Amino acid sequence: MFIDRVKIKISAGNGGDGVTAMRREKFVPRGGPSGGDGGKGGDVWMEADEGLNTLLHLRYNPEHKAERGRHGEGSNRHGKDGEDVLIKVPVGTQIFDAESEDLLFDFTESGQRFLAAKGGKGGWGNQHFATSTNRAPKYHYTGRPGVEKELQLELKLIADVGLVGFPNAGKSTLISVISAAKPKIADYPFTTLEPNLGVVDLGDYKTFVVADIPGLIEGASDGAGLGDRFLRHVERTKIMLHLVDVSSISGRDSNEDYAIINRELANYNQDLADRPQIVVATKIDALDEPERLENLRELAAKDGKPFLQISAVTNLGTKELVNLIAQKLDEMKREQIDLQPPNADEF
């Protein structure tokens, strides 16, 4: 089950109390205070793990509490520190404070760690309070409480390419053809109910990641159909593949479909509508009205967007599409390198 939103409660461990104790040993008169300090409470850490791709494991385990620090003991013995708790999340997870809704951390790379809640400090034993005028203090500090928080976790898949389009535009079929992903494919709307990731192998150890986003419809930004809940998964993509069914099987107008999807993207986030986009005419093998294809080609040219026609079922044009995507990604990578400021150490 794909879960991309979950709320959890975390509690760091309380610090252990210090202790009031006096040293009592044979041949040691007036031994003085010997109360040890309490141990520190355990912290709650979060770490990005590339082996995870859903927040499902946290849906059924919403509370996480670190161990408290042990109390100090006599003979200046320090209490044991509490054990930390480590919560693993998928790469792409964002951590929000559930109350203030402030973004606390954004995991963009595997292995990143975030201190979500700090354990309380241990209290001082009475050994710390001895002075020349008070050689036998009979008081100590209690441990500090650990931090408690309620967190909202939201997952945004990290992919190079995002597939968008109406239901049954051919997104799932395409990702199954160009990658090893095996999404459910059927001839009814909303077959895809959750995002799918596929890795496209270009050879020579070069790859890129494609995200298949469940189909949008008109009014999705206002909650129609599956709504816009999955659009967050294309916010991190570099390129959008806009798939448009040009066959007459759907009974819809191709140009109108194209305009509706772009409008929904803009309503959700204007940056998505402005992102580099490749328009892909799909189901060419079932094309029975050539003017539908030419009309869409003219519209894409008018908007200054690259245009390709494919049939994922017969593999027509899929290799050219993969090569174009790889070329665009390489160009964007070079542009990003050119924009980086020079390293001062090189001069």
11 versus 270: which is more confidently predicted? 11
107 versus 211: which is more confidently predicted? 107
pLDDT, mean of residues 202-222: 72
Residue ranges per structural domain of the chain? 1-155, 161-339
258 versus 167: which is more confidently predicted? 258
Which residue in 179, 181, 192, 155 sits closest to 52, CA to CA? 155
Percent of the chain with pLDDT over 90: 48
User: Is the pLDDT assigned to residue 93 strictly greater than 80?
Assistant: yes
Three-class DSSP labels, the chain? CCCCEEEEEEECCCCCCCCCCECCECCECCCCECCCCCCCCCCEEEEEECCCCCCHHHHCCCEEECCCCCCCECCCECCCCCCCEEEEEECCEEEEECCCCCEEEECCCCCCEEEEECCCCCCCCHHHHCCCCCCCCCCCCCCCCCCEEEEEEEECCCCCEEEECCCCCCHHHHHHHHCCCCCCCCCCCCCCCCCEEEEEEEECCEEEEEEECCCCCCCHHHCCCCCCCCHHHHCCCCEEEEEEECCCCCCCCHHHHHHHHHHHHHHHCHHHHHCCEEEEEECHHHCCCHHHHHHHHHHHHHCCCCEEECECCCCECHHHHHHHHHHHHHHHHHHHHHHCCCCHHHC
Report the amino acid identity of residue 60.
Answer: Y
Fold observed for domain 1-155? Spo0b-associated Gtp-binding Protein; Chain: A, (2.70.210)
pLDDT, mean of residues 105-117: 94
pLDDT tens profile 16-30: 999 999 887 777 666
Instruction: Indicate the pLDDT class of residue 308, thresholds 50, 70 and 90.
Output: very high
User: Is the pLDDT assigned to residue 190 strictly greater than 50?
Assistant: no
What are all long-range contacts of 202-208, with beta carbons under 8 Å and residues at least 24 apart? 202/322, 202/326, 206/326, 208/160, 208/161, 208/325, 208/326, 208/329
pLDDT at 80: 95
What value does the mean pLDDT of the chain take? 85
pLDDT at 165: 87
pLDDT, mean of residues 259-263: 89
User: Is the pLDDT assigned to residue 226 strictly greater than 60?
Assistant: no
Cβ proximity of 32 and 135 under 8 Å: yes
Distance of CA 160 to the CA centre of its chain: 14
- Distance, in Å, from the CA atom of 328 to the CA atom of 334, rounded to the nearest integer, reads 10
pLDDT, mean of residues 187-204: 67
pLDDT at 234: 76
pLDDT, mean of residues 35-64: 92
pLDDT, mean of residues 54-82: 92
pLDDT at 340: 61
Instruction: Indicate the pLDDT class of residue 215, thresholds 50, 70 and 90.
Output: low
Check: pTM over 0.85? Answer yes or no: no
Cβ proximity of 79 and 122 under 8 Å: yes
pLDDT, mean of residues 1-18: 90
User: Is the pLDDT assigned to residue 49 strictly greater than 70?
Assistant: yes
End-to-end C-alpha distance for the chain, whole angstroms: 53
Cβ proximity of 166 and 246 under 8 Å: no
- Distance, in Å, from the CA atom of 218 to the CA atom of 282, rounded to the nearest integer, reads 19
Fold observed for domain 161-339? Rossmann fold (3.40.50)
279 versus 173: which is more confidently predicted? 279
pLDDT, mean of residues 271-286: 90
